[in-house]
Amino acid sequence: MTDFETFMLDAANRPAAAAARAVANASGMPYAPLVVVGPPGSGKTELLRGIAGLVRESHPGAVVELLTLDALAERYRSALLVARTEAFRGELFGAELVLMDDFERLARHPDCQGFVADLLDARRAAGKEIVLALSIAPDQLTGLDARLVRRLAEGTPVQLSLPGPEARLAILRRRLEDSPDALPDPVVRAVADAAFPSMRDYTGAVARLVAFQEASALPLSATDALMLIGAPGADLVPASPAPSPEIDEFGSFLSEVEASLSEQVDRWRRRVGEAVLRWGGEGLSTRRLEAQLSDESPGDPEQLLARYETDALEIQALAREAAELAPDLAGAQVFRDPDQIAAARAIVAQARHRSGPLSAPLPQYRWDDIAEGPTTRLPMLAARDIVEEPGRRYSPLIIVGQSGTGKTHLLHGLGNALVGRGVAPAACLGAHAFAAEVEALADPEALAAWRLRYRWVGALLVDDIHLLAGSPRAQEELQLLVGELLEGGRQMVFSSVFPLEELPGLDHRLLGRLQGGLVVELPPPDREVRLAVVKRLLSGTAAAQDAALADYLGSRPADSVRAVQGLVQRVLGEAAAQGVAPSPALAREVLEAIELGPARGSRRSGALRSSGILSPGIGLVRSREKMIDTWPGVADRLIGDLR
Amino acid sequence: MPLVNFTNREITCKLVYYGAGRCGKTTNLLYIHGRVPEQRRGNMVSLATQSDRTLFFDFLPLELGMISGFTTRFQLYTVPGQVYYNATRRLVLQGADGVVFVVDSQARRFDDNVESFQNLQENLLDQGVDIRSLPLVLQYNKQDLPPDLIFAPPDLDDAFNFRGVPSLPADALHGTGVFETLKTLSGLVLQRLAARPPGS
């Protein structure tokens, strides 16, 4: 039987024993400090030794300082004399556990009080435990400085009373563990049953009897032993004839039944105690079990244990699931307390919601493929900062640029880079999709679930935000979401064709939120950007190494990346159609022939969509339907126009 | 019958005194009844014939009070020993938490004892109870009779106690061994509390 189990034998001492075990197991929050209060001889020293022993046993390398206040004062003064106070301070501040006995004696050592107060503060700040044993209640202590009184009042007091006969017997037997035959067991039991005022009297009596027995040839009887030690209960030993048989027989029967029944109940208590140790060791709160131990009329322990075990296993499973769903939830206190199973379930349910599939950045828009030129330095600088420190530098980032300037590529590429940096989940979607999601939310429950999903995103990236103009509800939700994500320090990126101040139909509150971010303009691609895009498009083709072709294509005027893509595709398509390798000559032939188009009499050149190629007045698509200028008659042209 | 009821915080133990007719079962109960303080005992119900043989059964409830937070009561029953009351014996035996098998130590009653002991095992088996799993104490009653009329406890152990259960000599009429028997059986029954599923 361990020291703690000894104390567990007494209902009154179980809370103290449970707290002591919690300290020894370093489970739960530090008591900071744990204050054990008990009259002299109630076993406080025994309890402190038990804690120290258990810690040393479970953590062989741990430094445990167990000392009386007088010893501490002596060491402190010695350290002062040899100028080693800092070293002494370091020893006590750094120890895994400090246990101070006879703490009330600090009043006799006023010179040490400041040091002890500092020690309490430092250990508390470091989350390290300290246990103080006192023989009088902290509020009745006199002669302590105010800081110490306050620290004691902030601690957790537990009461320890003189152990009962069973606990005393266990303690005395443990004292005799090294020499089990030193005294006959009935003698030990008789001493334990005697009525001494303190535990010290019991251990002292046993020591005296051991000495007497060693000198005596005959084994001691219980009666002799009690007479020898002058036990207060000695005169109660029956020397007179037994009481009348009627009372005696039934009384004896009754006491046996009581003993048997108590043993069974205590056996359950031991089981509960074992469960406290087991689950406490696994880091779970065992408050429910400990409450049972301190209850004089406990409920069904089997049911309690079964229910606790069920809850404990479920909460462990929930903790594992939560850690997988959302690493930020791992280690949350709620997953260590089976009494909070409902809250844990709710949190995991939320985590499941929020981990629902969100629209992810499109993989084809790779961060590494984004071309950079002199005119895009600023937006790229901001983007790189965001990837480096998501949510901290520029959130939200607003990318403004004409159609085809690469906003979508930058937005999704940024999203992919953030995911690559571990920002998860990243919701990346177009404004029309965002609006459609919001418009589809039919009832408050669906709306709440939708909000929950987005509230937990690591990053939110919305493309073409100007398209929200027609959806006030989506604007409202986005405005709320932006507010929440800003508070959560999450990264947001939006793109728009129009500058913010020119955004039509957008709620002023949403605009206000967005204007708090960084607005960068993505201009039409400069030559460097165009060249980079061309090289990327040509890579993997027969012309991948043709620098002259790339140079020629990159030098062609184009107002958007999309237009550059059109140029390259056109040349590659023509080369494929002719069965020749793409070359500068072919490119020149294809593209400049198109530019010469107006000279051949295209009627509607100005009105046609140019796809960004800066060659006003040309027909761009080599569709037979559009090539009406080659048709012979006016009627045919008219038909073509009508189409 | 629930042995431990955590909802009502009650422990109820049903102990049955079994044995051949006129072996001293009722005498055991009468002695106990006489030694139990009045506030602790209920009325002893005893349905007897004119020849003092138990016709139905004896019933003695004992209120032991609050022990370890449980209201504890023992219910002591005897069965009619006569062979033709087997249905009553089965009824009384139902739900028994422990059995005292009272052996009439007289040599001339040896066969009756054997027959009753076999009947006990049969009746338990009928109820799906293995006698090996039930707390059982053998009481060798009437040990106060002249030695030439009775078997000594070791001889009776040889005959009945092949399972090594506790056995005690007794003189129920004068009370010798009566409470010892009850204590021994109670101890065995209570030891099983922890092993039994609660609420059962």
ipTM of the complex: 0.85
Closest among A396, A388, A378, A387 to A493, alpha carbons compared: A396
Q: Which residues pair with B76 in a beta bridge?
A: B15, B60
Per-residue pLDDT at A599: 44
pLDDT digits (tens, 9 = 90+) for A410-469: 999 999 999 998 887 889 999 999 999 899 888 887 888 788 778 878 899 999 999 998
Q: What is the mean pLDDT of residues A119-127?
A: 82
Q: Are A350 and A451 in contact (CB under 8 A)?
A: no
Interchain pair A247, B37: CB under 8 A: yes
| CATH no. for B4-191 | 3.40.50.300
CA distance A131 to A118: 15
Per-residue pLDDT at B168: 96
Question: What mean pLDDT is reported for chain A?
Answer: 79
**Residues contacting A635, CB < 8 A, separation 6+:** none
Query: B117 to chain A, minimum CA–CA distance in Å?
Result: 27
- Among A122-126, A636-640, B38-42, name the one with the lowest average pLDDT: A636-640
% residues pLDDT > 70 (chain A): 83
**Residues contacting A505, CB < 8 A, separation 6+:** A469, A470
Two structure tokens written together for A358: 């969100």
Per-residue pLDDT at A487: 87
- Name the residue of chain A whose CA is nearest to B183's CA: A253
Q: Are B69 and B88 in contact (CB under 8 A)?
A: no
Q: What is the mean pLDDT of residues A583-596?
A: 80
CA distance A426 to A134: 57
Interchain pair B183, A253: CB under 8 A: yes
Per-residue pLDDT at A623: 44
Q: What angle do CA A287, A291, A292 make, to 5 degrees?
A: 120
Two structure tokens written together for A325: 């769903």
Q: Are A606 and A617 in contact (CB under 8 A)?
A: yes
Q: Are B57 and B88 in contact (CB under 8 A)?
A: yes
Per-residue pLDDT at A4: 61
- Check if A58 contacts B (Cβ < 8 Å): no
Closest among B173, B174, B114, B107 to B138, alpha carbons compared: B114
Segments making up each domain of chain B, as ranges = 4-191
Q: Mind listing the domains of chain A with CATH numbers?
A: 3-159 (3.40.50.300), 165-236 (1.10.8), 268-342 (no CATH), 367-498 (3.40.50.300), 527-642 (no CATH)
Q: For chain B, which residues score pLDDT lower than 70?
A: 1-8, 46-56, 68, 193-200
pTM surpassing 0.90?
no
pLDDT higher than threshold 90 for residue A277: no
- Check if A298 contacts B (Cβ < 8 Å): yes
Q: What is the mean pLDDT of residues A130-143?
A: 84
Which of A144-153, A499-508, B176-185 reaches the highest mean pLDDT?
B176-185
Interchain pair A302, B190: CB under 8 A: no
Q: What angle do CA A115, A116, A122 make, to 5 degrees?
A: 90
Higher confidence at residue A219 or residue A409? A409
Per-residue pLDDT at B4: 67
- Name the residue of chain B whose CA is nearest to A249's CA: B179
Number of cross-chain residue pairs from A and B with Cβ atoms under 8 Å apart: 71
Closest among A153, A91, A145, A78 to A122, alpha carbons compared: A91
- Check if A232 contacts B (Cβ < 8 Å): no
Q: Are A418 and A387 in contact (CB under 8 A)?
A: yes
Cβ-based neighbour number of residue A253 at 10 Å: 22
CA distance A159 to A135: 10
Residue A258 — very low, low, confident or very high, per pLDDT cuts 50/70/90?
confident
What's A613's DSSP letter? B
